[in-house]
Every structure is written in structure tokens, then in C-alpha cells.
Structure 1
């Protein structure tokens, strides 16, 4: 059973990841794409697992909507990407499986669910169709996943990253390395 100190550390790391995501996403934004959100999703689930990674994506989406005026697309893309990246990473712990989950969750599922959400949000279906958001969401997920791949290759050997990852996955450092190629 995790101690109060461990739970506090997990919440602190989650808070730091949320802060980094909220600050970095608008800085490295391409119109209609949020590749930095995909970067943070992949890193977040590999560091903290699917539960905390999905919470991170949800809170970041809500904060981007409230603080930056981003439409609900901030939620439809990020949450499904983080959830599937985390599930795929938990089943097969490699950076490639997290990247695939991010691509599938954000690029395909998130983009398709964005159509009905935005049709409801704007009150109009004019000029929109089911695959309206798909090219941009796929582009952002692919770009972000490859950037995350590069970052994760560097972080895999950083002792602090390994210790934090071991805390979230309840293993001893060196017992099982989750970041594999």
C-alpha cells in the first residue's frame, strides 16, 4: 500500500506534468494541430501510467479551454490519445506502443469524435464532415509522437526519470525498465 509521502510525490509529479503541458502546448502549436500535447501524452503515460496520464490530459484540456479559449477539441484529442497510449504501453511497455496508442487515440478516435462535439458546440454542421479534423489530428499525433520518441530515448537513461517511473509502476529501480525500444 502506498504511503502518504508516495501519494504526495505522485500528485506533485502529476501537477508538474500538467503545468508543463499547459505552458508548452500553445508555444509549439501549429494551426489546427497540437503536437506538444501528443508529446506530453506519450511522455506522461510512460512516466506515470495510463491512469495519471489520462488525468493529466483531461486537466490540461480543461485548462486550455478555460485559459486559452481552445474549443472542446482540446479534450476530444488529448484524452483518448493519452488513454490508449497508456493502455497500449501497459500491455506492451515500449515507446512504440505508446506512440501507436497516441496515434490511434488522438489521430483516429479523437478526430472522429470531434465532429459531433464541434457540431453541437457551434450549433452548425455547415462545412463540416466526419473526417474534417482527421488530417490535422493525425499530423499533430505523428509529429508529437516522434518528438516524444526522441525525448524518451534521452530520458530512458536518466536516473531521476527511472526513479519516478518506478514509483508510479511500483517496481524497484533497475528491476524492470519500462522505457525500451
Structure 2
């Protein structure tokens, strides 16, 4: 099968996993399963495809599940930095740190002005309103992603995904 077709197929699979799994264990303002998929996508697919995945998933969740724009602000920065972290360190720990910084810190801070624009009202919300929940979700997601990765990295499908997206580079 053509490499581009395989990349699109794997991307579609990760989008489907994120959309189906993100409502599981969802607490308002916290989506730890989304962090799990962002971290795994960062390691498996790199920054570009992980970010595309997060944008698609955010839009789908907003349209189908009625989730506010937090679905985008929370996931996109985390997916991008998870992919960058994985590429720089060539291991899941870089992806985890990228997700925590991207979603837990940057995404939470960007969410405040976006929600003020979305609701059309300036409230007494403060800039760090979303940070504890976003950080909590990313930390729960990071633990779950690490546990899943310990077994998933042995599966031939995941090995194939890493080779398709990362060439012959070894990711631990």
C-alpha cells in the first residue's frame, strides 16, 4: 500500500479512537482520554499529523457532542507539542511533557479569551480558571498513555505506524 494512503488511514484511525474514547471518563472541563490519544499520536505520527488529528477531533466533538471551543483550544497545542517533544527526544517522555505544556498550560490559558469571545460576555473568570482542570486531565492522561505505550509499542501495527511516519527512527 502507498505510504500516503497508509498515513491517511492511520490518521483516520486515530481520529476515530479520539472521538470515541474522549467522552469516556470525561468530567466537565477534563478529557483525559483526549490527552492519551494526543500523546500516542505525538509518538506515532509526529507533530503535523497529531495536530491535524486534534483539529479534526475538536471540530467533530464540537459539532456532534456540543462541546464548546475548549475542544480545540485544549487539544491542538498539546498534540502539536506532544509531536514535537517525541521528535526531539525520540521517546514517549518528550511527548508526555509536550502534552502537559501544550494542553495543561498553553491550552488552558488560551481557553479563557476564546470562551469570553464564544459566550460574548466578559465575566469575572480569571486567566487560570481552566488550568487546574486541564493540568489534571493531562496528568491522568499521561499516566494512562505511558501504561498503554508499554504494551502497545510491542504490537506490529504500532511499529508499522512509527516506521511509516518516522522512517527507520527508533522511538522508545
TM-score calculated relative to the size of structure 2: 0.96
1:156 equivalent among 146, 153, 163: 153
Deviations for 1:143-176, whole angstroms, at most 9, x for unmatched residues?
01110000011111222211221111122xxxx4
**Paired position in structure 2 for 1:44:** 41
Distance in 2, matches of 1:153 and 1:47, equals 13
1:65 maps onto 2:44 in alignment: no
1:147 aligned residue? 144
Q: CA deviation at 1:126?
A: 1.6
Question: 2:141 aligned with 1:177, yes or no?
Answer: no
* Structure 1 residue 123: Cα displacement: 1.1
1:88 match: secondary structure:
helix
CA-atom RMSD in angstroms: 1.1
The 2-side partners of 1:29 and 1:6 are apart by 35
Helix, strand or coil for the counterpart of 2:77? Answer: helix
| Unmatched segments (≥5 aa) in structure 1 | none
What corresponds to 1:131 in structure 2? 128
Deviation at 1:49, TM superposition (A): 1.0
Counterpart CA distance in 1 for 2:115 and 2:157 is 41
* Match of residue 96 from structure 2: 99
Question: Which of 45, 53, 58 does residue 56 from structure 1 map onto?
Answer: 53
Structure 2 unaligned segments of length 5 or more: list them: none
Residue 70 of structure 2 is aligned to residue 112 of structure 1: no
**Deviation, structure 1 residue 27:** 2.2
Aligned residue for 2:165? 168
3-state SS of paired residue (2:123): coil
Deviations 1:74-132 (A, max 9, x none): 00010000001111111111111110000000000000000000001001122311001
Cα distance between partner residues in 2 of 1:137 and 1:44? 18
TM-score (norm: length of structure 1): 0.92
Aligned residue runs from structure 1 range 12-51, under 5 A: 12-51=9-48
